[in-house]
Each structure stands twice: as C-alpha cells, then as structure tokens.
Amino acid sequence: MEIRNLVVVVTGAASGIGEALVERFTAEGARAVVAVDRDADGVAAVADRVGGTAVACDVTDEEAVRSLINATVAAHGAIDLLVSNAGYVTAGGLEAPDDELRRMFDVHVMAHLYAARHAIPHMVAAGGGHLLNTSSAAGLLTQIGSLHYSVTKNAAVSLAEWISVTYGHLGIGVSVLCPQAVATNIGANSPTAGLLPADGSASAAAVDGVLTAAELAEAVIEGLADGRFHILPHPDVAEYVRRKADDVDRWLGGMRRFQQRLFPDGQTPADWLLG
C-alpha cells in the first residue's frame, strides 16, 4: 500500500506514535489526513500543523466512532486507511481492580472492533481498504509487570488476525503494529505512573533499544508498502515470536530468567507492585 492520494484516519493522534504517523502520512502525499483524539486541543494543534482535519472523539464510544467514519466518507468520498492507534499502559497484576482491565479492554480491543465494524462496509463498497491496528510486541509475547496490557494487546492481535481471515477476500488488508519501546509520553500519561520506576530499570520493552516516533513511522511506511501483517519496528521481535512458537516451555523459562535479570534483588513484579 502506498499512501499517496489516500484518505487516512489516525486515532490517538494528539501525541506520540499517532502524531508521528499523521506527520508522515502527510509527507507521503495523502489526499486527506484526519487526526483523531479525545484531547481536542492537542489533536487540533497537530492537524493545524500539517493541514489536516482534527476530530475530538472518544474511541471507546461506538456511536462516536461510527459518526467519525461516516463523516470522513461524506467529506472525502472514501476511507482508505484507518489507523486504530489509541492506547495506554498500566502497571499491575492479579491484584489490580477489574474495572482497570475493562477500561483498557475498551481502548485496546473494542475501539479496534468499532473501527472495523463501521469502516469495513465503506471500504468493501469502494473496492477495498486497509486497517492498521496498533498493538505491541507485548501482544505477540507478554509484558512483564502489566497483566492488563498483556491481555488486551494479545487480544488486539487476535482480533486483527480474525479480521484478516474473514474479510481479506473482500479486499480488506490488515496490519498490526507491534513495537517494543518508543520514546513517547505513554509512561508519563499512565494512570499508574507512580508505580513505574523513574529510571526505567524495570522496562522489559527497552531491552532492544528505544525508537523515536519518527523511526517507528518509517517502519510503518515500509510495512504497509510490503503488505505485511506484522509490522515490527524492532526486528528482534520476529525471532522472539519464532522461539515462542518453536518451544513455548523453553520460551517461558527464558522469560522467567529475563524477569530475574530485571529484578536482581530477588523481587518479582508482583512483589514490587504489592510493595
């Protein structure tokens, strides 16, 4: 998929990965870029900077997502690429409140479902389209120290797989973006920011380096051009996924050893989170 002349919608676009994708899609010659976020002021600033359209929208509200998609098609005649990118991270395990998991599931899974449910009919009618859903390397593997993030990001990958299998013959392409650490404000904006070590010492995602959002956007352009389902800005993730598939018991043992290296004083994330 080439971006030139396409109508693109990006959620979670007020900062971080979403902001970088809006900028890059504009630079690639998209016909229209619709930047979406519940942060109305932030997304307006991003859209103004690139000459795009800003929409304030809570992606966990299905009616708002339906209206966003219908308004985009009405204004621009099509929706060619929908990037369902909104997300956040928390620290927590079995002790974390159930409502925190439900809230994260709404953002990381249901928002992708609503986007697909309402965009795909327009795309099929137009002869095709593409969905790019942001998950995480945690969605292919797991996230040490965050039960909710692991479960919901894995669910996001599974949903994307199902959509690809079910609608691929109708011209619907699907990609799932699965980075490790990216330099954004996701940690500072976390509802559990106070539980995250300030020095990043417990950040399993940073083991293979921290990309800038612009570097990630470059990987997205390359992945879309190649038509890849897994877009892996950190190439090492492909090897980790292969090892997991080859011998899951060995992989789990390796993850436990990795956790011990992250917490050399003998603590586990459960000890750290429970205090």
Residues 6 or more apart in contact with residue 141 via CB below 8 angstroms? 237, 240, 241, 244, 255
- At residue 95, the pLDDT reads 87
Q: Is residue 253 domain-resident?
A: no
Residues 6 or more apart in contact with residue 157 via CB below 8 angstroms? 135, 139, 140, 176, 178
Q: What's the pLDDT tens digit per position in 207-221?
A: 778 899 999 999 999
List the chain residues with pLDDT less than 70.
185-206, 265-275
Tally of structural domains, the chain: 1
Q: Is residue 78 domain-resident?
A: yes
Task: Tell me which amino acid residue 158 is.
Answer: S
Check 114, 149, 167, 240 and give the catalytic one. Answer: 149
- At residue 274, the pLDDT reads 44
Q: Is residue 259 domain-resident?
A: no
What tokens were used for 237?
């993730």
Range of the domain at 181: 7-237
88 a catalytic residue = no
Q: Is residue 170 domain-resident?
A: yes
Q: Is residue 262 domain-resident?
A: no
Residues 6 or more apart in contact with residue 151 via CB below 8 angstroms? 101, 105
Q: Is residue 216 domain-resident?
A: yes
Q: What's the pLDDT tens digit per position in 67-77?
A: 999 999 999 99
- At residue 67, the pLDDT reads 98
The β-bridge partners of 134 are 177
Q: Is residue 66 domain-resident?
A: yes
- At residue 267, the pLDDT reads 61
Q: Is residue 252 domain-resident?
A: no
CATH number of the domain where residue 109 is located: 3.40.50.720
- In this structure, are strands 182-183 and 230-231 parallel, antiparallel, or unpaired? unpaired
* Euclidean distance between CA atoms 122 and 112, whole angstroms: 16
- In this structure, are strands 81-84 and 7-11 parallel, antiparallel, or unpaired? parallel
- At residue 148, the pLDDT reads 94
